[in-house]
Amino acid sequence: MTIKSALRMVACVLQLCIVNGQVICERQMTAEWRVEPKPSVIKWKPRENICSDFYAECWNMNKSVTGEISEEENLSIPQICPLQLQLGDSLFISSEPSFESYGMNVVNVSKEEFINCPKASFLQEQLIFVCQIRGLHQVDPNWLGAGTHYFAELHKRGPLLCNMGLRLNVTVKQQFCQQSPNAPLCSGHGKCLSHVWEKAYNCHCFSQYSGRFCQKFDMCSTKPCHNNASCTEKSELSGDSYECTCPPKFSGKNCTEIVGQCQPHTCFNGNCSNVTPNTFLCECDKGFTGKNHLCFLSYNNGFCVIIMVSTFALLKQLF
């Protein structure tokens, strides 16, 4: 080491001590998938973008939300603000002239080496860039497959700069929001999102839609089942389907048909029509209520009375 570079090293350490302020990494807790890939530039220098406290600084989470995270290790090591990319995004690393004289290499390391910083040597195949960094370098997309990658600084004399924070955690996420390659994200009925701790982007459907790609219209949300019947979505690939479970005395696809057969005056103020040998419907005259009931009362009468009377009429029917 020349005297000049030794002095630079000292200056660097001092700088770091002086500016060892809190860096809180900018972060969205939930990100939405961008249709266009985006480039990111990381400044490879031990200032400005180095965080230490795992939750409060690096992941920008306050105490009130850390309860959500259970399995994450609370590591307080200085590091470059951890990065999350979409699969297909490009990544550039830029050095600063004052650090270039160290001959910095960026190497791909294991999680353990990321935490403890790598030993003084590395294999050629761990090098992210064939040459030492000087200026702006693009990370080859081969290093940015889906998953978490750890990059660390290593120069001839050891891991000093890594220990100061020149190490980077890059998580690359892919999306599972398209049913087929050219299909719209979430079938156009939802958002393709990823929370910071999730490993991929997935659909979050708008109301009335469900399914992994929000491809399914939730028929039950349109309340097709009448007469207090319960509605169940049927997971048929062919289409949107549902099933009504009718209460006793009602039947049919939507539980609109009444169990029984037409008799004279079954429908008090309307016409009776048999639907099946066991069910019928009343078509009420104007002003009388309830296709599903027996057209006994006009609309402006109370609901309770209708129920009572139609129940009475039904009983009359059945017994």
Ligand X SMILES: *[C@@H]1O[C@H](CO)[C@@H](O)[C@H](O)[C@H]1NC(C)=O
Q: By the criterion CB under 6 A, which residues form the site for ligand X?
A: 53-55, 62, 64-66, 72, 74-76, 82, 84, 108-111, 114-115, 126, 143, 148-149, 169, 171, 224, 228, 252-254, 256, 270-271, 283-285
Taking the CA atoms of 114, 117, 121 and 127 in sequence, report the sign of the dihedral they define. Answer: positive
Q: How far is the CB of 98 from ligand X (least distance, A)?
A: 27
Q: Using DSSP, state whether 72 is helix, strand or coil.
A: coil
**Which residue in this structure is represented by tokens 């406290």?**
53
Among residues 148, 149, 145, 128, which one has the least CA distance to residue 87?
Answer: 145
Q: How far is the CB of 319 from ligand X (least distance, A)?
A: 20
Q: In this complex, which beta carbon is closest to ligand X, that of residue 12 or of residue 252?
A: 252
Backbone angles phi, psi at 142, to 5 degrees: -60, -25
Please check whether residue 253 is in contact with residue 226, taking contact to mean a CB–CB distance below 8 angstroms.
no
Q: In this complex, which beta carbon is closest to ligand X, that of residue 2 or of residue 124?
A: 124
Q: Using DSSP, state whether 152 is helix, strand or coil.
A: strand
Q: In this complex, which beta carbon is closest to ligand X, that of residue 9 or of residue 115?
A: 115
Q: In this complex, which beta carbon is closest to ligand X, that of residue 5 or of residue 273?
A: 273
Query: Residue 21 and residue 11: Cα distance in Å, rounded?
Result: 17
Tokens of 240: 């949107």
Q: In this complex, which beta carbon is closest to ligand X, that of residue 84 or of residue 95?
A: 84
Q: How far is the CB of 282 from ligand X (least distance, A)?
A: 9
Q: In this complex, which beta carbon is closest to ligand X, that of residue 66 or of residue 94?
A: 66
Q: Cα 301 from chain centroid?
A: 49
Q: In this complex, which beta carbon is closest to ligand X, that of residue 5 or of residue 222?
A: 222
Q: How far is the CB of 109 from ligand X (least distance, A)?
A: 5
Q: How far is the CB of 45 from ligand X (least distance, A)?
A: 20
Task: Give the DSSP letter string of 145-202.
Answer: -SEEEEEEEEBTTBSHHHHTT-EEEEEEEEEE--SSTTSPGGGGSEEEEEETT-SEEE
Q: How far is the CB of 111 from ligand X (least distance, A)?
A: 5
Query: Residue 139 and residue 108: Cα distance in Å, rounded?
Result: 11
Category of 267 on φ-ψ map: left (φ > 0), alpha (ψ -120 to 50) or beta: beta
Q: How far is the CB of 23 from ligand X (least distance, A)?
A: 15
Residue 21: which residues within 8 A CB-CB, separation 6 or more? none
**Which residue in this structure is represented by tokens 């650090």?**
99
